[in-house]
Amino acid sequence: MYNFINRTLICLACFALAACSTHKVSSPDGTLTLDFQLRQGRPAYSLVCNEKDILLPSPMGLVLLAGEDTLRHLKWSVQSVTFASADTTWETVWGEEHFIRDNHNEMKVCLADGEIRMNIVFRLFNDGFAFRYEFPEQDMTDIILLDELTEYIFAEEPQIWSIPWQTEYYEGLYTKASLHEKDTMCSPLTLEMPDGMYAFLHEANVTDYPCQNLYSRADNSLGTYLTPWMRDGRVLDHKAYLTVPFVTPWRFMILTNTLPELMASRIMLNLNEPCRIEDTSWIKPMKFIGIWWSMHMKEWTWSQGARHGATTENMRRYLKFAAENGFGGVLAEGWNTGWEGYEGINNDRFSFVTPYPDYDMDALSAYAGELGVNIICHHETSGRADEYEADLDTAYRFMQLHGMPAVKTGYVSPLIRTRDGYQFNRSQGVVRHYRKVIETAAKYHISIDNHEPAMPSGLQRTYPNLMTQEGIRGQEWNAWAQDGGSPCSHVCTLPFTRMMAGPADYTPGVFAFENPIIPGTRVHSTLCNQLALFVILYSPLQMACDKIENYEKHPAEFQFIRDVPCDWKQSRLLDGKIGEYVVMARQDRHSEDWFIGAVTNEDARGITIPLSFLSEGEWKATIYADAPDADWQNNPYATTIATQNVSASDTLNIHLATGGGCAIRFVKQ
Ligand code: NOJ
Ligand code: CA
């Protein structure tokens, strides 16, 4: 969309190159060079960074079933190689940055084996590389993808942060091990290279294709395993049903010397297509509260009964509190009929247009309208995507009629029921379903917060109404996880792993940590740690998840949640170490204000924050810090709140308690 810097796409060369054996393309600054070659007719690529080998010649390619023929050992020859480059800047509708620069060199290698043709397109950025396979128009039409041969063979063995591929809904704790100690992995992976560099391996623009997973092979290699289709409960060797012409998602790797550079990379968004929604004025980032945490803490229920949460009375109270405290919306889970099944009694179909009798939808939407607060709708499907697809238009028309601009969708079920039977939630069939939801929602001016999603791959550039997704071990685990809740290190790992794939609906902001239901389980954090998460864990629909009563107990600390925005002009990791601590700074998109969030793992530590990111002049800093005697287990609420005038030449020294954090707002004086 809004490209405003002169777009240059220059075709530099196009030769017949059958005889030439290797073809190179470098990043615009020359630090990265990728070398493509055919080895006995099979494609491979390697990567060098400043003359140091990063990836050794690594196989590429697809295995296809065309009619009766399995095309596995094609003997390709190079028909042509063309080069292009681009240096453009585009404006985000919302995001961690207002403007994003896309500066890359491209090499397109066109291959043929007889009548069969395939192109591989490489893009080299200063901070990484990407490639994808293209099947241009040719005699074949319908094909079945059996396998993707893409490998990443490392010159030296990296350490990898990842979750195993069987992690349900990606809700797991990322752990680090050497490549050879890893087994299967969900994409994305974060890598610590032996020479101190960092890498991030993932995919971009997953469209009508299964999500990738990775597994470790011998000799420092990672292989690709695409999520398969299922039929009648059996896992097939079919990965995708494709119609030529098609392009695959991009495979990309960010490679940088430092973690701040890794986090600043926008390669994934650059590899997605520009916005397809012409008028985006209806897409609004907002903070919201909701009828939610009390259900996870088992005080209220989703279904009808004495403890039903989404009642007219409760919702009025939440709407009023939202209006008084500057929240844009209120989520109500359990507003619609069908929840008895969810809580294990039967398997009723959810209705997406029928409120429970004690939830007066008309009166509540009128009241929300008066207050200027949005009701955020909720569509749990229990994984029955086929039913949801059939109901989509009716459901979204109903939302439009009642002035609801956003919906949280949910697919709690180990397998998703589609019109093609039960499938894995990251298979091609379910990727198709999620896309249908996004596109249909856009027609009705509805934004999506998708729970139990396929792993994000940057589609929000094309469809900014896909605002946030789960696919993360979120706060809810601290209510009911049998393992006691997420360790303090979890929120120090997420920014460098899952969050690099896009916004997440983690739902920060618990203000009461004891758990009467499962006493061994709790939030492993201090109050300041919860505040800091609003800056660290980015989501343009950002939920403050606790109940009103808990916020009312800590009005001074709650002020930070009132003040913090969820749409940013720019974002910077100031300091951090994966799994140990994070110091993040972001500037509000709609004012000059800066915010800092810092969190630490089980270790208390002192952090030093140079304020050189501030522009000239005097700033008032309001600092929410752990009290000297705070700690997450015994004294989590002890906070000091101080204000002081600072400028860019100052440095702040802050103490973070064990499981602690710090949140700061800077206002220009
Ligand atoms: C799982 C979601 O992640 C959670 O937020 C929601 O409350 C339940 N499903 C019910 O839909
Ligand atoms: Ca979930």
Q: What is the pLDDT of residues 73-84, one digit of tens each?
A: 899 999 999 999
State the average pLDDT over residues 294-314: 97
Distance between alpha carbon 448 and the CA centroid of its chain, in Å? 13
User: Is-contact 499 507, C-beta < 8 A?
Assistant: no
Give the model confidence (pLDDT) of 17-54 as tens digits. 444 469 999 999 999 999 999 999 999 999 999 999 99
Whole-model pTM: value is: 0.96
What element of type H or E holds 66?
strand 62-66
Instruction: Quote the CA–CA distance of 572 and 538 in Å, as a whole number.
Output: 12
Q: Report the separation in Å between the CA atom of 346 and the middle of ligand 1, taken as the mean of its atom positions.
A: 18
What pLDDT, on a 0 to 100 scale, did the predictor assign at position 345? 55
What pLDDT, on a 0 to 100 scale, did the predictor assign at position 344? 61
Confidence class for position 343, pLDDT limits 50, 70, 90: low
What pLDDT, on a 0 to 100 scale, did the predictor assign at position 72? 84
Give the model confidence (pLDDT) of 169-212 as tens digits. 999 999 999 999 999 999 999 999 999 999 999 999 999 999 99
The domains located in the chain, with CATH, are 22-270 (2.70.98.10), 485-506+525-533+550-669 (3.20.20.70)
pLDDT surpasses 50 at 3: no
- Lowest pLDDT segment from 4-8, 414-418, 644-648: 4-8
pLDDT surpasses 70 at 1: no
Give the model confidence (pLDDT) of 534-569 as tens digits. 999 999 999 999 999 999 999 999 999 999 999 999
- Coarse DSSP helix, strand, coil percentages of the chain, rounded to the nearest 5 percent: 20, 40, 45
Task: Specify the DSSP class assigned to residue 61.
Answer: -
Q: Report the separation in Å between the CA atom of 412 and the middle of ligand 2, taken as the mean of its atom positions.
A: 7
Q: Which residues surround ligand 2, an ion (CB under 5 A)?
A: 451
User: Is-contact 293 546, C-beta < 8 A?
Assistant: yes
- Sheet of 69-71: strand order equals 69-71, 62-66, 142-148, 240-243
State the average pLDDT over residues 382-387: 95
Confidence class for position 143, pLDDT limits 50, 70, 90: very high
Nearest to 329 by CA among 508, 542, 538: 542
Whether 324 is a known active-site residue: answer no
Which of the residues 106, 148, 476, 557 is marked catalytic?
476
- The interaxial angle of helices 555-563 and 527-536, nearest 10 deg, is 0
Beta strands in 205-335, from DSSP E residues, in sequence order? 212-217, 221-226, 230-231, 234-235, 240-243, 246-247, 250-256, 286-291, 329-332
Is it true that the peptide bond before 245 is cis, omega within 30 degrees of 0? yes
DSSP conformation letters of 428-473: HHHHHHHHHHHHHHHHTT-EEEESS-PPP-SGGGT-TTEEEE--S-
Mutation choice for ligand 1 from 169, 412, 510, CB with most ligand atoms inside 8 A:
412
What pLDDT, on a 0 to 100 scale, did the predictor assign at position 71? 86
Q: Is the Cβ atom of 476 under 6 angstroms away from ligand 1?
A: yes
Q: Is the Cβ atom of 192 under 6 angstroms away from ligand 1?
A: no
Give the model confidence (pLDDT) of 513-537 as tens digits. 989 889 999 999 999 999 999 999 9
Phi, psi of 9 (to 5 degrees): -125, 100
pLDDT surpasses 80 at 630: yes
Burial classification of residue 533, based on how many CB atoms lie within 10 Å of its CB (0-12 exposed, 13-18 middle, 19 or more buried): buried
Q: Report the separation in Å between the CA atom of 486 and the middle of ligand 2, taken as the mean of its atom positions.
A: 14
Q: Ligand 1, closest atom to CA 507?
A: 5
Q: Report the separation in Å between the CA atom of 470 and the middle of ligand 2, taken as the mean of its atom positions.
A: 7
Burial annotation 449-486 (CB, 10 A radius, 16+ → b, else e): bbbbbbbbbbbbbbbbbbbbbbbbbbbbbbbebeeebb
What pLDDT, on a 0 to 100 scale, did the predictor assign at position 381? 95
Q: Ligand 1, closest atom to CA 342?
A: 10
pLDDT surpasses 80 at 109: yes
pLDDT surpasses 60 at 4: no
- Lowest pLDDT segment from 60-74, 98-112, 480-494: 60-74
3-state DSSP assignment of residue 534? helix
Q: Which two tokens stand for residue 396?
A: 């979204």
Q: Distances from the Cα of 530 to the Cαs of 488, 663, 665, in angstroms? A: 11, 9, 15
Burial annotation 348-367 (CB, 10 A radius, 16+ → b, else e): eebebeebbeebbbeebbeb
User: Is-contact 537 506, C-beta < 8 A?
Assistant: yes
The whole-chain average pLDDT of the chain stands at 95
What pLDDT, on a 0 to 100 scale, did the predictor assign at position 6? 35
Confidence class for position 592, pLDDT limits 50, 70, 90: very high
What pLDDT, on a 0 to 100 scale, did the predictor assign at position 9? 34
Q: Is the Cβ atom of 380 under 6 angstroms away from ligand 1?
A: yes
Residue 471 exposure: Cα atoms within 13 Å on the Cβ side: 25
Instruction: Quote the CA–CA distance of 59 and 39 in Å, as a whole number.
Output: 9
pLDDT surpasses 70 at 8: no
Whole-number percent of the chain with pLDDT over 70: 96
Nearest to 476 by CA among 496, 466, 490: 490
